[in-house]
Amino acid sequence: MTSDINREFIDHASALRAAEEGVAKLAAGRNDRWYPKFHIASDGGWINDPNGLCYYKGRWHVFYQLHPFGTQWGPMHWGHVSSDDMITWRREPIALAPSLNVERDGVFSGSAVEGDDGRLWLFYTGHRWQEGPNGEQENLEVQCAAVSDDGVHFEKLGVIIDNPDRLFHFRDPKVWKQDGRWYMVFGMSTPDKRGQILLYSSENMRAWHYERLLFRHPNPGVYMLECPDFFPLSDPNGNLRWVLCFSAMGEHPNGFSNRNLHNAGYVIGTWEPGERFQPQTEFRMWDWGHNYYAPQSFEAPDGRRIQYAWMSPFIPPHPMQEDGWCGQLTLPREVTLDHYGCIRTNPVEETTALRCGTTDFGSFVLDVNENRVLCDDIDAAEIEMEIDVSETTAERAGLKIHSTDDNAHTCVYYDDQTHRVVLDRHAAALGNRGYRAAPFTSHHLKLQVFVDRSSVEVFINDGEQAMSSYSTPSPGKRAIELNAESGTLAIQSLRIHRLRSIGLDR
Ligand code: FRU
């Protein structure tokens, strides 16, 4: 490393070795009762945001924020898995560990692109703590890059965007190429604590120039926009829109919306290089569940826009922390714009290849107050269910998942009084409780529900809305039940698929 700012405090290879040992130690003592079968998680340790999503040299790559030495958030590394079909995954060596002075306390979130030189470039934030005037911890952050020829071993290039004014919360670069020029967005907090997104550009990926303020959050309470993402999407009529995504810190709950500690969403609008982003919608949430944060997307070679998020366990307790691991990513979702110009998110097509056995329940009516066991023990399942809402008289009707002998369970039901889909953890065995409620618009309700060992993801009416939450079952058999309360439930179709592992559990 040449300049002082890029000086190493430890050599990268030793830092990576220590991190691998940290993960291996936690993995050796891991308990798998809640370890995901078909979601990406670390072998051991804590994970948060997905990073560096890309397709490079014939493989899909997913990196993620990793603390290899404990099951809490801590000094961040980049963990790594890859796949040749987006169905079965394999573990790769940890890609980045803190080794330069500017990233002494963490290699934070960022993105990946194939460079003009054919190499894989990672852009990420170097993070360190500094003492503030009153002895408090303040962050000092800069943007850094690293490159690789094989997508697995990375050489650090050091700082590419410095932070000379020592602004707080200056992080999470997302890079893309357009019309022959490289662009980068990242989030920042102004000295008067307003959340903003900045736009930079570059000809060669090394020298970056400030272009402009792309977006300032209208709510003065929002002090930081983490993990921004910015991409074009066309609706079926060919109308092009830009989607500006961010994970807002400081937003207050508003009815059913923004119920989580921090909330991830997007605004749809228009943009031309050189211009400010022009919003055309209000802020909309990606997902109505308890645990969906820091989503990032990338463009697949076939043009699909694919998004992963972190299932963020913001509110303790986190039962899996006793088990040697904490945190998982969501399923990969394809993001599209529909005829109304609204976003839809659906599990990627590849997910159907996880099905390994199907029970078809056909169409039937569940009686007033009836409870029916559909499946008495399953740890990884996909439920496809269509409800005829106009023929249903129940006040509440739907699924109990992770239902155990002690009567603990998590509910996913249709609520006639609010006309919403509710994901309700009031009877959850362990972990945080509370409910979330997503809107839906028609008289027909189609649910696609993915149940893993400690999570549930719900897709409503072909991806109009989604809900993702942890659900931690009690020991013993995990049943799936169907229930109608104070009325009948008209099922038009119902299938349950057993799902196989993506190859990361054991
Ligand atoms: C979002 C975030 C990012 C940061 C990373 C650190 O969850 O706080 O802003 O880069 O996590 O782990």
What would the pLDDT profile of 417-445 be if each residue is shown by its tens digit?
999 999 999 999 999 999 999 999 888 89
The answer on 478 and 427 residing in a single domain is yes
Q: Kindly indicate the confidence band of residue 3, based on its pLDDT and cuts at 50, 70 and 90.
A: low
380 within domain boundaries = yes
- Residue 76, sorted as left (phi over 0), alpha (psi -120 to 50) or beta, turns out to be beta
Tell me what pLDDT residue 506 has: 77
Both 42 and 187 in a single domain?
Answer: yes
My answer on whether 247 and 358 are in the same domain is no
Closest CA to 30 of 452, 322, 413: 322
Q: Which residues contact 269 (CB under 8 A, 6 or more apart)?
A: 241, 242, 244, 277, 278, 279, 280, 281
Q: Is 6 within the bounds of a domain?
A: no
- The 10s digit of each residue's pLDDT in 135-192 is 888 999 999 999 999 999 999 999 999 999 999 999 999 999 999 999 999 999 999 9
336 and 414 assigned to the same domain: no
Q: Which atom of ligand 1 is nearest to the CA of 49?
A: 7
Residues 6+ apart with CB under 8 A from 215: 196, 197, 225, 244, 246, 267, 276, 277, 279
Q: Report yes or no on 7 lying in a domain.
A: no
Q: How far apart are the C-alpha atoms of 457 and 331, rounded to whole Å?
A: 8
CB-count exposure of residue 294 (10 Å: 0-12, 13-18, 19+): buried
Q: Which of 49, 51, 64, 139 to mutate to test the pocket of ligand 1 (most atoms within 8 A of CB)?
A: 49
Is 339 within a domain? yes
Residue 105 predicted with pLDDT over 50 = yes
Question: Is 102 found in the same domain as 146?
Answer: yes
Protein residues with CB under 6 Å of any ligand 1 atom? 48-49, 65, 76, 108-109, 125, 171-172, 226-227, 293-294
Decide if pLDDT at 2 tops 60: no
| Pairing outcome for strands 325-326 and 45-56 | parallel
Q: Is residue 1 part of a domain?
A: no
Distance from Cα 227 to the centre of ligand 1, integer Å: 7
Please indicate, yes or no, if residue 300 is contained in any of the structural domains. yes
Among the candidates 325, 347, 369, a domain finishes at 347
- Whole domain around residue 415: which residue ranges? 354-499
Are the CB atoms for 197 and 215 separated by under 8 Å?
A: yes
Q: What CA–CA distance (Å, rounded) separates 305 from 286?
A: 14
Is there a domain that residue 505 lies in? no
Looking at residue 1, its pLDDT comes to 42
Residue 337 has pLDDT above 60, yes or no: yes
C-alpha 76 to ligand 1 mean position (Å): 9
- In a shared domain, residues 360 and 314: no
Q: Which atom of ligand 1 is found nearest the CA of 109?
A: 10
Q: For residue 251, with 0-12 CB atoms within 10 Å meaning exposed, 13-18 middle and 19 or more buried, which class applies? A: buried
User: Of these residues, 43, 49, 172, 415, which one is catalytic?
Assistant: 49
Catalytic residue flag (residue 49): yes
**How high is the pLDDT of residue 274?**
84
Nearest by Cα to 435 from 458, 452, 451: 458
| pTM > 0.95 | yes
Q: What is the pLDDT of residues 260-297, one digit of tens each?
A: 999 999 999 999 998 899 999 999 999 999 999 999 99
Query: How far apart are the C-alpha atoms of 225 and 28, rounded to whole Å?
Result: 37
Mean local confidence (pLDDT), 74-81: 98
Give the total number of structural domains in the chain.
2
Based on the fold, state whether residues 437 and 329 are members of the same structural domain: no
CATH number of the domain encompassing residue 222: 2.115.10.20
Nearest CA to ligand 1 atom 6: 108
Q: Which two tokens stand for residue 292?
A: 């969906």
**Final residue of a domain: which of 347, 375, 410?**
347
pLDDT for 380-419, tens place per residue? 999 999 999 999 999 999 999 999 999 999 999 999 999 9
Q: 214 pLDDT exceeds 80?
A: yes
Instruction: State the closest ligand 1 atom to the C-alpha of 293, by its place in the atom list counted from 1.
Output: 7
CATH number for the domain that contains residue 366: 2.60.120.560
Question: Residues 217, 113: one domain?
Answer: yes
